[in-house]
Amino acid sequence: MLVGLLGLQGAFLDHIPHLDRCGATPVVVRDIQGLSRVDRLIIPGGESTVMTKFMVEFGMLEPLRARINSGMPVWGVCAGAILLAEQVDGKSGVLGVLSAQLTRNAYGRQIASDAISIRVPVLGLENYPAIFIRAPRIDTLDPSVTVHARREIDPVFVQEGNVIATTFHPELNSDDFFHRYFLDL
């Protein structure tokens, strides 16, 4: 299975050891030709505005949206979740494929980044150390979106069909729970 890592900016390389351990073949995607080769795609954490700029410049927005809408599994991590959302900070989202409204950097600046213990019943995890770095907050969700985990009352791991999003960074932990879940979509 070829798993794309959107490699325009951000922490895409941190996913490679997880995918290797899971038996998947990671492929860094930087253009529409690379996008056409992969079975699924991870949009990493990083700077969503920079990733958006490059996706527009390289003509990737519409082909990516079309692939997702046709059923390609996609996982947005932190900034990736921002790119997937229908609305961000009260404005239209970039890809608009996740029925959610998000607020950027809702938990504070870089200095406020932390690890919070969360429950993830779908993965059988009771005290998962979720690492939040300038994380967005999911403010509202359509009823079609399933919440798999929360930080207090805020959803932090959600799924709508073939689209999953985490507002924290599972790739920074040594386990492969979230990558295995994504590969099973």
* The residue to which tokens 């009823």 are assigned: 143
Residues shown for the chain: 185
Give strand pairing partners of 140. Answer: 101
Instruction: Out of 15, 86, 148, 171, pick the active-site residue.
Output: 171
Give the residue among 104, 77, 81 at the shortest CA–CA distance from 91: 104
* Residue 122, φ and ψ in degrees, nearest 5: -60, -25
The pLDDT of residue 162: 98
The pLDDT of residue 165: 98
Give the residue among 154, 144, 66 at the shortest CA–CA distance from 103: 154
The domain that holds 33 is classified in CATH as 3.40.50.880
Mean pLDDT by 10 residues, the chain (185 residues): 95 96 98 97 95 96 98 98 98 97 83 84 97 94 98 97 98 97 97
Q: 173 is in which domain, residue-wise?
A: 2-183
Domain count, the chain: 1
Is 78 among the catalytic positions? yes
The pLDDT of residue 114: 82
Is 148 among the catalytic positions? no
**Cβ 76 vs Cβ 164: under 8 Å:** yes
Give strand pairing partners of 3. Answer: 26, 40
Instruction: Out of 18, 78, 148, 179, pick the active-site residue.
Output: 78
